[in-house]
Amino acid sequence: MTGRTKYVLDETELPARWYNLVADLPAPPPPPLHPATRQPVGPEDLAPLFPAGLIEQEVSGERYVDIPEEVLEVYRLWRPTPLYRAHRLERALGTPAHIYYKYEGVSPVGSHKPNTAVPQAYYNAREGVRKLTTETGAGQWGSALAFACATFGLECEVWQVRASYDQKPYRKIMMETFGATVHPSPSEETAAGRAVLAADPASPGSLGIAISEAVEKAAADPDTRYALGSVLNHVLLHQTVIGEEALKQCALAGETPDVLIGCTGGGSNFGGLAFPFLREKLAGRMSPEIRAVEPAACPTLTRGRYAYDFGDTAGLTPLLKMHTLGHDFVPDPIHAGGLRYHGMAPLISHVHELGLMDAVAIGQRECFAAGVAFARSEGIIPAPEPTHAVAECIREALRCKETGEEKVILTALCGHAHLDLPAYAAYLSGAMEDHELPEAALTEALAGVPRP
Ligand SMILES: *Cc1c(COP(=O)(O)O)cnc(C)c1O
């Protein structure tokens, strides 16, 4: 007989506070620098883009930040999210390992992104902002922000990476249903977009280009601010509700994870799951290995350089110390659109440099094979991004099968694929390619990283 499948928390157990890992690290992460002066940016440099409430969180050293009641009220629409034991996948693999997944696909848009979209919209609305601009790759972030803006009465304007805009018409319809305006990126709406189109009218776009467009639009209008769906400290802070709930649910299951695995695009779902566990590890209460998984086509942590670089293509953002492939890097149009970003969250990069986590890169076909195996045993079709985490869970579970170890593996299943099914069609038809990043392309992209 197998034990329980779902560990479900009552609404009253929704975390009341977000957790800030910075408070517990042995050294603080290097600060963002102003691109002209190379001095740390101050709050006044960020004010044209972000509201004061979020800037405060971005630079905070406080261990905990209370979640406002207005945000909790919206969180309760889908949180707490369930933790599942993947009994059926374990059996299919014949592994003695225990595999658990924290399922964020139950949110209104099908991913973890609303965990930060909702507080970001809240703090902007509270400070009188009228409109938010943003970029979206796979469409998950744009959908989440469109939903959150509808919740707090804000306008929302989204630049969607061209490749994804063409591949994913349903994401656009979802954003429009929530009331947002959606442009393909690069677009004629901004100087940044026009410059890219002039050089390459058929550009498939990239997150870096779309960020430049959204930032340019926000900076030009005093009633408009910009919202970023990953990478920044305040985004990772908001996502820690995932790990805080998972800690309680692991306790319910009577288990302590030996390995934590998450996919990393900018690092927010991974950090959201991992940071509360890392707090426990730093305090000596548990000792899980913590492992990020990225696509072989965009191997930021495993093959990038740890250096100050721009967050966007046009060089409009502050310089961030992070693992980067170079801000000009345009990854191959793999199906995991949410993982096609040239940089990594500075906080994740720092944690990696401190030796508190490791990273692996996996090719697209192995990931989709894992996604199919997961769907056929667990019934949930993972979004293309978390298939990377599932692939590494399966590798780990098969290693356990060799050694006989009963390791406890925990992952974030950060979204479902219901609006990404064409990616599965490409895999099932055999047309999918792996797109490993060639060494020459990497060298060329890294040449674009600014000199110190
Ligand atoms: C956006 C997204 C990602 C990548 O972003 P992170 O900040 O690395 O989490 C991964 N998975 C899904 C489902 C996403 O929507």
Residue 1 has pLDDT above 70, yes or no: no
User: Rounded mean pLDDT of the chain?
Assistant: 95
* Pocket perturbation via mutation, ligand 1, pick of 136, 230, 367, 381 by most ligand atoms within 8 A of CB: 230
36 token code pair: 């002209």
> Domain boundaries in the chain?
6-13+69-109+234-446
Percent of the chain with pLDDT over 70: 100
The dihedral formed by the CA atoms of 300, 301, 305 and 311, expressed in degrees to the nearest 10: 50
- Express each pLDDT in 39-77 by its tens digit: 999 888 899 899 999 999 999 999 999 999 999 999 999
For residue 314, what pLDDT is reported?
79
Residue 245 has pLDDT above 90, yes or no: yes
Distance from residue 142's CA to the centre of ligand 1 (Å)? 12
pTM of the model: 0.96
Yes or no: say if 263 and 170 are a contact pair by the CB < 8 Å rule: no
For residue 11, what pLDDT is reported?
96
* Pocket perturbation via mutation, ligand 1, pick of 81, 104, 111, 233 by most ligand atoms within 8 A of CB: 111
- Express each pLDDT in 397-439 by its tens digit: 999 999 999 999 999 999 999 999 999 999 999 999 888 898 9
How far lies 385's CA from each of 61, 64, 91, 103, 131, in Å?
Answer: 31, 29, 24, 13, 29
Report the nearest-CA residue for atom 7 of ligand 1.
Answer: 268
CB of 113 sitting under 6 A from ligand 1: yes
Pick 6-13+69-109+234-446's CATH classification: 3.40.50.1100, 3.30.460.80, 3.40.190.10, 3.40.50.300: 3.40.50.1100
- Express each pLDDT in 90-140 by its tens digit: 999 999 999 999 999 999 999 999 999 999 999 999 999 999 999 998 899
- Express each pLDDT in 138-182 by its tens digit: 899 999 999 999 999 999 999 999 988 998 889 999 999 999 999
- In the DSSP assignment, the letter for residue 318 is P
